[in-house]
Amino acid sequence: MSLKQTAIWDSRWNALAEAIQVTLTYTPPSGEVDRQNTIISLLRALKDFGDKQYRFFRNGFNSAQPWLMASTVFTAEYAVRQTLDQIAFDLVAIERARNQRIHGLTSAAARAALIKADILAYQALKPAIAAKIIDNTSVLTYFQKAASVRVIPYANVALIGIPYTCIDADANVRDFWRFPMRWGIMFIGTGVNKVHLSAVVCAHL
């Protein structure tokens, strides 16, 4: 089963790629963005990954000798839509992380809370990194309505959402400090034998 209306899907990917490029080249009026180099590298990796993923599915379903085969449950359109949706989701998260770190756009308290959250989340991952359970992974946090962790396949970076209440880490200390260990568990616990994982990580604490 081939991908129908290829030209429309090409237009959708091109629009998404252009949105990534605009975000990549945007320079805020203040010119100051915390973690700017990490964010730029992440956007470049997202665009490159997105292009390869889209072409993999597009050409895989539509070439003269297709190497992908759709089913009645998971159609070619479903596979491509899921790919574009995930790339768009990551773009939104990275845009939030960038916009919330722009000097003059967000408060100094909010920016300081994000830097602190970056450090705490990385510290939560260090035992697993030392135990070689995961690669050395950077962390980029951003504010949203609830805690979340997104492990991305195209860069050694974890996108971590934290509640807006964490902006005031002193007044809402419980909100802020209850997340680091949870981040570590959410990040490294999927698909891993948790008894073995706990023993190995604890040995490096």
Q: What is the pLDDT of residues 90-134, one digit of tens each?
A: 999 999 999 999 999 999 999 999 999 999 888 888 887 888 877
pLDDT band of residue 10 (cuts 50, 70, 90) is very high
Integer Cα distance of 137 and 200 in angstroms: 18
Q: Are 94 and 134 found together in one domain?
A: no
Token readout for 51 is 């292009």
Q: Are 64 and 122 found together in one domain?
A: no
Work out how many domains the chain is built from and give that number: 2
Integer Cα distance of 17 and 149 in angstroms: 24
Integer Cα distance of 203 and 205 in angstroms: 6
**Host domain of residue 86:** 6-99
How far, CA to CA in Å, does 147 sit from each of 86, 114, 135, 171, 187?
18, 13, 22, 18, 12
Q: Are 141 and 188 found together in one domain?
A: yes
Q: Are 151 and 183 found together in one domain?
A: yes
The residue with greater pLDDT, 2 or 16, is: 16
Burial of 127 (0-12, 13-18, 19+ CB in 10 A): middle
Q: Are 78 and 16 found together in one domain?
A: yes
Integer Cα distance of 35 and 112 in angstroms: 12
pLDDT band of residue 201 (cuts 50, 70, 90) is very low
Q: Are 85 and 119 found together in one domain?
A: no
Is residue 1 one of the residues assigned to a domain?
A: no
Angle between helices 76-99 and 36-62 (to 10 degrees): 170
pLDDT band of residue 197 (cuts 50, 70, 90) is very low
Q: Are 92 and 115 found together in one domain?
A: no
Is residue 71 one of the residues assigned to a domain?
A: yes
What is the model's pTM? 0.84
pLDDT, average across residues 66-84: 88
Is residue 37 one of the residues assigned to a domain?
A: yes
Of 64, 99, 134, which marks where a domain is finished? 99
Q: Are 23 and 90 found together in one domain?
A: yes
Q: Are 149 and 189 found together in one domain?
A: yes
pLDDT, average across residues 141-159: 89
Q: Are 91 and 53 found together in one domain?
A: yes
